[in-house]
Structure 1
């Protein structure tokens, strides 16, 4: 059993893939999988709550409930005071879950159909609740009896260990079952035990807050030995490498940042966004950084290390271009030329909005793939921008972030960085990556501009190919989050400070 670690390559699977694996995994052991899962849960329960005297298991009628019943049986035999609330126990349920129920009953485990309110009042912070209500197949909003169990867990003092996924969380999307309506309810677990493989929903959306510490018991699953492909892989951490001595500034590429609409266009100056992207590219090690403001005028707030140049004087064919940061509507006139001529391209913010509104620019973005040996492309949408590009709404994007990112990658034949909780990096012919670095401090204005500049710098320092662009995007996203994770306590994270901490 392992804790989730950024240093390991973990695959994320979906419910159907786990079901495909179960028969093959069962052949590896004489012990039924459900009993092995129950043993893993019981052992983890002792590890995370070593002084627990009482354990409440809230169990559903399916396989997840069966795992909980097997764990309850073992904990009862090991001397714990165990009570099981078996929800919807009148249904037939899977055969192995029925067998687990019979075994627990024969062992004398206290099992009842409702929440043991008076008994639960005795649980304190050293005791434990086990959430075995809904597993990886959950798709519907919670029923009244499930909601009662969830409410009891959340109201108590005892920590919660969830099996597979916290009840109320969509295991694939990381959104709440039933959407983000005001009556959405879910378990916020202190620990989550993933069985066989991690569900993608634990790593995205609300899953990152609801899951607590994630543990994996693989039950014999080895990605290299089984043919079931991963839905996604965890993004690897960023590690910096020392630069060789015999290099020069041209060895690390030239980045041009085009953006920053002037005050005169729409009464709102946005030069700061472009300056943030340029500052990020500079601190991330690009050899030379050029700032081309759409206002057409130099800005005294740009770092002195950054060159400023008019757009018409940019040799786009020789540059890795970051376009759209603070671009407003002024970027529209320049974007066709940027799409056609730029060597490497990171398209962000208003650049993406312009493409979403113009079919000819969408075609120009797709056509860059025909010159992929010299024109690598990364787009960096947040969910609303992704929805505009796909012609759908934000909820549809968030309900299947992996699908949305991959659809964008296929539609525009480029690398996609779908930002948000659990940023997804996707590209044609690549298994997507889910990034687990970063935190809520990044949810402020300007951090996306910093990421765009960082992606541009990482692209400039490598080959100008689609494969290298995908790797550069993965590195940039990981680094962006790692800097936020290591932010000094008590110091406000701002985009300008973040850009300077990339060095």
Structure 2
């Protein structure tokens, strides 16, 4: 499914109205009807239910006025609180406000303390609150009155249904500057907006419903829309297929260059994840000083000792054997737990320039190229980069806070700058392609905020590439499967979930997708 920014959604609406001839008031009518349907299912009926609507002066408020009329027709007792006065409302919203008033629906303009007393009474006795204050047009700071209304809604302890997105959530980034409506359910119109999918906005969205308001499908699926949401239905169609007469040599060969003294777990997790996600053969190349440790840790993974400059530390002498091993593999995962020695960083850069196999670069591999990003753009094969926000900050010279302020923009810019597929990890991982296409992942959970989870992801992506997927497809499939494995593991509880739990759940995640 496509995801639309605020400006893209406005362009879609404008095209529907001007080029297709669909009157804006028809779209507003459809939006209001969908809101009523969502509330009716949430409340198990509307007859004699008390519905309180908080409306702004724009089109979001207009949707609320349409909903008020249909709520009333279905037997609900409706009260609308308008932030402003009716004379300030324009266009289709003004028409629907007028109709609601003609129907006898109580519309209270909030202008003084006595009106705020009415707000407090209404929220105390209502069955449901409708947030129709602001939609995709919201930017920056909330007014004091808006903050006060949001506080009233959030403090009422009643079900809240938000129209399009919760008021206070930035449509394009999900950022919440001061406050936002804590919705029980959000009915987003036409297409989801990034703000209801990305945190912190996603945490205010509640259950998300995407409403069909009659926009032409051609406008909702156009190639000009570069944001997408990853779903199980999309991923199950692209996973590697294994034929009935397969043997290990046909299922992909992964080389992992990872690990150093004290960080052997990262190498083990990456290597095992490549196997668990279907690779036929996995070889872990490590410094000879920790090779014996890895042979004990790993049973199914093959290991190869590399010359070292100190115990567990790789230098340039390891380049030649790595290139020989890489020549026999289909994908190379580079970096987890590799260490930050100056010669190790130099080795990573030389590998990047010499290996013509697809690379998945993580952790210390990313740190090694942070100051030489041009090497990524000139790599012999398209790299997949898997930074967490801290690693991304080092790669592009921003702070972690700046990275998290607009994750889609940052991931997209990095993918273009480095000529790489960028997987920006975190709550709602972002996958960005060099051509600007972006995918927002919806699988995964807070229990995966644990050391080693990213190492598992690196192994999964590497395995999918080795099994024949393009780097682009392997990145989105790997991200979704990794998150789904975390969701399966979390059925035993979030607290205490480990990277090993995610690793062991990868086969179950793959099976569940194959059954769809």
Q: Could you say which TM-score interval applies, normalised by the shorter chain? A: 0.7 to 0.9
**Residues 213-266 of structure 1: per-residue CA shift (max 9 Å, x gap):** 11122322344356572131112424356521333222222212222221xxxx
Secondary structure of the corresponding residue to residue 501 of structure 1: helix
Which of 328, 341, 347 is the matching residue for 1:334? Answer: 347
2:215 aligned partner:
221
Range with greater deviation from structure 2 (144-153 or 483-492): 483-492
Q: Normalising to structure 1: TM-score of the pair?
A: 0.88
2:510 aligned partner:
none
Secondary structure of the corresponding residue to residue 486 of structure 1: helix
User: Is 1:481 aligned with 2:483?
Assistant: yes
1:323 aligned partner:
334
Which of 278, 283, 304 is the matching residue for 2:276? Answer: 283
Query: Aligned pairs, how many?
Result: 467
Q: Using the alignment, how far apart are the partners of 2:250 and 2:10 within structure 1?
A: 49
1:208 aligned partner:
202
Deviation, 1:333, is 3.4
Do the aligned residues in 2 keep the contact of 1:14 with 1:231 (CA within 8 Å)?
A: no
Q: Using the alignment, how far apart are the partners of 1:405 and 1:91 within structure 2?
A: 44
Secondary structure of the corresponding residue to residue 299 of structure 2: coil
Do the aligned residues in 2 keep the contact of 1:21 with 1:228 (CA within 8 Å)?
A: no
Range with greater deviation from structure 2 (275-284 or 245-254): 245-254
Secondary structure of the corresponding residue to residue 3 of structure 2: strand
Q: Using the alignment, how far apart are the partners of 2:54 and 2:152 within structure 1?
A: 10
Q: Using the alignment, how far apart are the partners of 1:276 and 1:354 within structure 2?
A: 21
Q: Using the alignment, how far apart are the partners of 2:134 and 2:405 within structure 1?
A: 18
Secondary structure of the corresponding residue to residue 297 of structure 2: coil
* Distance change >3 Å, CA 213–CA 74, structure 1 → 2: same
Matches within 5 A, 1:453-464: 453-462=459-468
Q: Using the alignment, how far apart are the partners of 2:44 and 2:21 within structure 1?
A: 30
Deviation, 1:450, is 0.6
Secondary structure of the corresponding residue to residue 32 of structure 1: helix
Q: Using the alignment, how far apart are the partners of 1:244 and 1:42 within structure 2?
A: 49
User: Is 1:76 aligned with 2:67?
Assistant: no
* Distance change >3 Å, CA 259–CA 421, structure 1 → 2: same
User: Is 1:293 aligned with 2:286?
Assistant: yes
Secondary structure of the corresponding residue to residue 34 of structure 2: helix
2:311 aligned partner:
none
Secondary structure of the corresponding residue to residue 33 of structure 2: helix
Q: Normalising to structure 2: TM-score of the pair?
A: 0.85
1:154 aligned partner:
154
User: Is 1:120 aligned with 2:123?
Assistant: yes
Do the aligned residues in 2 keep the contact of 1:325 with 1:349 (CA within 8 Å)?
A: yes
Q: Using the alignment, how far apart are the partners of 1:215 and 1:469 within structure 2?
A: 32
Secondary structure of the corresponding residue to residue 416 of structure 1: strand
Deviation, 1:445, is 1.1
**Residues 52-88 of structure 1: per-residue CA shift (max 9 Å, x gap):** 5101111111111111111112212322111111113
RMSD: 2.1
Greater share of helix residues, 1 or 2? 2
Which of 2, 7, 15 is the matching residue for 1:11? Answer: 2
Q: Using the alignment, how far apart are the partners of 1:24 and 1:329 within structure 2?
A: 53
Q: In structure 1, list runs of 5 or more residues that go unmatched.
A: 1-9, 179-183, 263-268
Deviation, 1:447, is 0.5
User: Is 1:259 aligned with 2:258?
Assistant: yes
Which of 445, 452, 459 is the matching residue for 2:458? Answer: 452
Do the aligned residues in 2 keep the contact of 1:257 with 1:278 (CA within 8 Å)?
A: yes
Q: Using the alignment, how far apart are the partners of 2:267 and 2:106 within structure 1?
A: 64
Secondary structure of the corresponding residue to residue 318 of structure 1: coil
2:313 aligned partner:
none
